[in-house]
Structure 1
Amino acid sequence: MTIVHDTTLTQLPGIASLPLSDFKTHRANFFDKMKPNSIALFGAASEVTRSNDTEYAFCQNKHFYYLTGFNEPDALLLLLKKDNNPQAILFSLPKDKSHEVWHGRRVGQEKACQQYNFDQSYVLDELSSLLPNYLNGLSQVYFCFDNSGMSQQVFTWLSHVRSTARQGSKVPEVLIDASPIINELRLIKSANEIELMRQVNYISGLAHQRAMQKAAVGMFEYQIETELLHEFSRHGARHPAYASIVAGGDNANILHYTDNGETLQNNDLLLIDAGGELSGYAADITRTFPVNGKFTAPQTVLYQLVLDTQLTVISAIKPGITFAKLNEIANECLTQGLLDLAILSGDLAQLLLD
């Protein structure tokens, strides 16, 4: 069995980012889930130092980005639902000429309202003085409990409000985890989101094709990784969605192998698990192929079993089916196939239990 490279992906479809109006829609959908007289808080990611005065490529908090489209660090989104007048308020870093000379432009407070459709925008330094006032008199606070940094901040702000109780301040009594709510909202994709996901998967497909075309005996795994990154970036997906797995031979048995440092051998299969990220939306594609372009007879049989299993699982996908059920289908197909090939022996039901 010889691998044939499909070269039909020649024209990029779709869009490169969501229109900013979509993020306002996302906020409106979250407002609909909030109780009256409540507030929701979502923090942006912070930059992470790589070495001395350099940072890793910035990766925005996905919940924050879903609600804002704002891609600067250390900001905070405040959603206030009070008096039938929902407001989206952003706290962000100020314009700073000295900083911008070295590190690039910031949006600033005025443009945050104009471009990103926030009702109000404040400098981040004003957060500690203004937020207790927003919290005072409300009934519920929504935030993501699994964000330890945000949890600590919320309790600090609530303590500040509580300290002024004798002056009539009222502390919100109910804390609600925002994660299940926003996770549920993010499950349902808009037409633009679907188009963006189609685009990033298209780009990632091009990258996998490039890797197949470039792979050769004697190359290092990391050389194939660079081909993936090249194709992601030149089509606008400037960062991988996760660390690429490029695993030749036995390395493919390591589930999250990312060393990508060994030489590709003749008759090796090469497993690639890689996808690009485009405007916060990720692809995740895994493919396996022979380094020398030709499957051996045993590789052909096992490859076909895995492919048949994949197609069976895909055909079973429908609204309401669970991941657990799909996993059961996959396990049964693979186990039965290995029994048919006499690689396993015994009773199917017992093997599945084991």
Structure 2
Amino acid sequence: MICWPVANALAQDEDRYRNEQDFLPADFYRARRAALRELLPDGSCAVLFSAPVRNRSNDVDFPYHQNPDFYYLSGWTEPNSVLVIFKEAQQFNKGALQDILLVPPRDAPKERWTGRRGGKTAARRISGADWVLTTESWDSLQLPLPQQRKVLQLRQEEPRTAGNQDPLELDGLLRSYRTKLDKASISADDFLLKRALTSLRMVKQPEELNLLKRAIAISVDGHLQMMSALEPSMTEYQVEAVGEYVFHDAGAEAVGYPSICGGGENSTIL
């Protein structure tokens, strides 16, 4: 009787995880992973980790910003996650798989304070990955690294939790990954993957262009509203507040960069 409300609450949250209106469909991310596979060397795999959480003060973190390359291939915005992409499909118990996404497990008590997690259900819907697991399976997951000629990775930012013994935090996931590499007697290349992703991301897909056009339209409206609101004695902070209100009111989740508002001798300060 104690467990039922928690499980029920988690189930009810699935449909409220995020507003899907402006997000790209899973087919987009499947296509991006397929495009990356075309650029990977034969007999290789790519292993990507989410960006680390950055602490602001005590128990307050900065708003989380996902590694853009990780997001480009998965659409996944949560920390403490892992994405594995194989050049050629690999055999697992579930059959032949081309990619695996591991995400944090649902945790109702934590989510009450830190916000909802998507869990496997949302991750599968968003990413379209062949196999979605929680990171609780990362340690025991038998990756076919010994059979790979190359393992490609990105240069990883060190997590703020360096030394943390929690296996589900980024530091623990990285530690387990390095153990897997050692056992397979293989080293990882941190150059080829970034070069391949850069070449892909330089050419925008139609879906990306549509999002850029929408963002530009919102930005233009925000700038026009800021100019209309200008009055003598207004502070730069007040002008910024007008613009960012318009951005958010139009549906933007965040600004692409901090607003630059300045007049007089401050007009050249970025």
Match of residue 229, structure 1, among 241, 244, 262: 244
1:137 to 2:152 alignment: no
Q: Percent identity?
A: 27
2:83 paired residue among 77, 88, 95: 77
Q: CA deviation at 1:97?
A: 1.5
Q: Which residue pairs with 2:26 in the alignment?
A: 20
Residue 17 of structure 1 aligns to a residue whose secondary structure is: coil
For residue 129 of structure 1, report the CA deviation from its aligned partner: 3.8
Q: 2:74 aligns with which of 61, 65, 68?
A: 68
Deviation at 1:91, TM superposition (A): 1.3
1:52 is matched with which residue?
Answer: 58
1:240-268 deviation per Cα after TM superposition (whole angstroms, max 9, x unaligned): 111111111111233x2xxxxxxxxxxxx
Picking from 29, 48, 51, the partner of 1:42 is 48
- Counterpart contact for 2:181–2:187, Cα < 8 Å: no
Separation in 2 of the partners of 1:243 and 1:174? 34
Change (3 A) 1:40 1:236: same
CA distance in 2, matches of 1:173, 1:17: 32
2:238 partner letter: Q
Note the alpha carbon deviations across 1:143-182, whole angstroms, 9 max, x for none.
Answer: 223x3439x98797455544x4xxxx45257554311211
Tell me the amino acid that sits aligned with residue 158 of structure 2: G
Match of 2:108 in 1: 97
Secondary structure, counterpart of 2:261 in structure 1: strand
For the residues of structure 1 that align with 2:71 and 2:54, how far apart are their CA atoms? 18
Higher RCO (C-alpha under 8 Å, 6+ residues apart): 2
Find the aligned partners of 1:182 and 1:199 in 2 and give their Cα distance. 24
Normalised to the residue count of structure 2, the TM-score between the two structures is 0.77
Secondary structure of 1:136's match? Answer: helix
Unpaired runs of 5+ residues, structure 2, are: 1-20, 91-95, 160-170
CA offsets 1:61-110 (integer angstroms, 9 cap, x no match): 11111111111112111112235755111111001121122233222124
CA distance in 2, matches of 1:175, 1:56: 27
Q: Could you tell me which of 170, 193, 206 is aligned with 2:221?
A: 206
Larger radius of gyration: 1
Output the TM-score relative to the length of structure 1.
Answer: 0.60
Match 2:199 to one of 184, 196, 209: 184
The alpha-carbon distance between structure 1 residues 112 and 179, as it changes in their structure 2 partners (threshold 3 A), is same
